[in-house]
């Protein structure tokens, strides 16, 4: 996406468009993933991918324009984090509503909407767990966490963390990766003529989100980041 964003930058750096305005637009594109995924069939899944890819593009562009124009701000960093939170949640909530079959002829099964929302909550909590380390250190007057402090003191925990990082299963609950996963599920379901794989994927992502929320919390507590 950097190759695309650098081409977009040239049309923006000499305009009055501010980095924060681009961040607002980025967030809107990410949130639009929810209504996009409500469109039935492969079409909705494609629209969801388009929304998240536009989010990714603007996520690159706003920072590049900020660096070019020397327009840095804490507000911009904050808005960028809010956009990341909302986009991850929007994709997973959209998946849950899609699996619930809102526009189907049968009964709406709200269990899938609940599981999608649960996955979204987990994705947000994982980001919050990381961000709250900085909050806790700041409120107690400690300097920002150093890279060495992220190392786990338990060799068993460190091994488990390396294994999880190698498998990268946790990335499936991030908005960009989740949207691509949803597209694959939609294509398979189109061939089957039902929502079996979309619903299976919803359950899998909810499970991953809950497991990762717990493991990430344990890894933080087991490291030296809060020391």
What are the DSSP calls for the chain, one per residue? Answer: -HHHHHHHHTTTTTSS--HHHHHHHHHHHHHTHHHHHTS-HHHHHHHHHHHHHHHHHHHHHHHHHHHHHT---HHHHHHHHHHHHHHHHHHHHHHHHHHTTTTSSS---HHHHHHHHHHHHHHHHHHHHHHHHHHHHHHTTPPPPPGGGGSBSSHHHHHHHHHHHHH-GGGGGSHHHHHHHHHHHHHHHHHHTSSHHHHHHHHHHHHHHHHHHHHHHHHHHHBSTT-
Identify the pLDDT of residue 171: 87
Does any domain span residue 17?
yes
Q: Is the pLDDT of residue 80 over 80?
A: yes
Does any domain span residue 169?
yes
Does any domain span residue 119?
yes
Q: Is the pLDDT of residue 153 over 60?
A: no
pTM: 0.88
CA–CA dist 31, 46 (Å, integer): 15
Does any domain span residue 149?
yes
Q: Is the pLDDT of residue 160 over 60?
A: no
Give tens-digit pLDDT for 6-31.
Answer: 999 999 999 999 999 999 999 999 99
Question: What is the average pLDDT across 149-156?
Answer: 54
For residue 67, give both structure tokens: 């660096």
Those residues whose C-beta lies under 8 Å from the C-beta of residue 87, and which sit 6 or more positions away, are 27, 30, 31, 33, 52, 55, 175
Those residues whose C-beta lies under 8 Å from the C-beta of residue 155, and which sit 6 or more positions away, are none
Identify the pLDDT of residue 81: 94
Question: What is the average pLDDT across 88-98?
Answer: 97
Does any domain span residue 227?
no
10 burial level (CB within 10 Å; 0-12, 13-18, 19+) = exposed
Identify the pLDDT of residue 224: 84
Those residues whose C-beta lies under 8 Å from the C-beta of residue 198, and which sit 6 or more positions away, are 95, 98, 99, 182, 185, 186, 189
CA–CA dist 33, 142 (Å, integer): 39
Read off the CATH number of the domain in which 204 is found: 1.20.120.1760
Task: For helices 74-99 and 41-69, give the axis angle rounded to 10 degrees.
Answer: 180
Q: How far apart are the first and last CA of the chain?
A: 38
Number of domains in the chain: 1
Range of the domain at 162: 2-222
The pLDDT-based confidence of 146 (bands split at 50, 70, 90) is confident
């Amino acid at each position: 996406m950097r190759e695309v964003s650098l081409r977009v930058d040239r049309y923006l750096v000499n305009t009055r468009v501010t980095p924060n305005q681009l961040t607002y637009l980025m967030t809107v594109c990410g949130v639009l993933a929810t209504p996009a995924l409500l469109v039935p069939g492969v079409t909705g899944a494609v629209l969801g991918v388009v929304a998240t890819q536009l989010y990714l593009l603007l996520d690159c562009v706003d920072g590049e324009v900020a660096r070019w124009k020397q327009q840095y701000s804490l507000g911009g960093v904050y808005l960028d984090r809010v956009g990341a939170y909302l986009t991850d949640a929007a994709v997973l909530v959209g998946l849950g509503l899609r699996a619930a079959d809102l526009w189907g002829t049968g009964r709406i099964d709200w269990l899938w909407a609940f599981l999608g929302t649960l996955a979204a909550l987990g994705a947000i909590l994982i980001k919050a767990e990381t961000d709250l380390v900085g909050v806790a250190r700041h409120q107690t007057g400690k300097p920002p966490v150093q890279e060495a402090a992220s190392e786990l003191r338990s060799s068993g925990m460190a091994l488990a963390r390396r294994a999880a990082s190698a498998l990268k299963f946790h990335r499936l609950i991030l908005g960009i990766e989740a949207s691509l996963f949803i597209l694959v599920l939609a294509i398979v379901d189109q061939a089957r003529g039902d929502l079996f794989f979309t619903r299976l994927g919803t359950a899998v992502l909810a499970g991953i989100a809950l497991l990762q929320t717990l493991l990430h919390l344990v890894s933080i507590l087991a490291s030296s980041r809060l020391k």
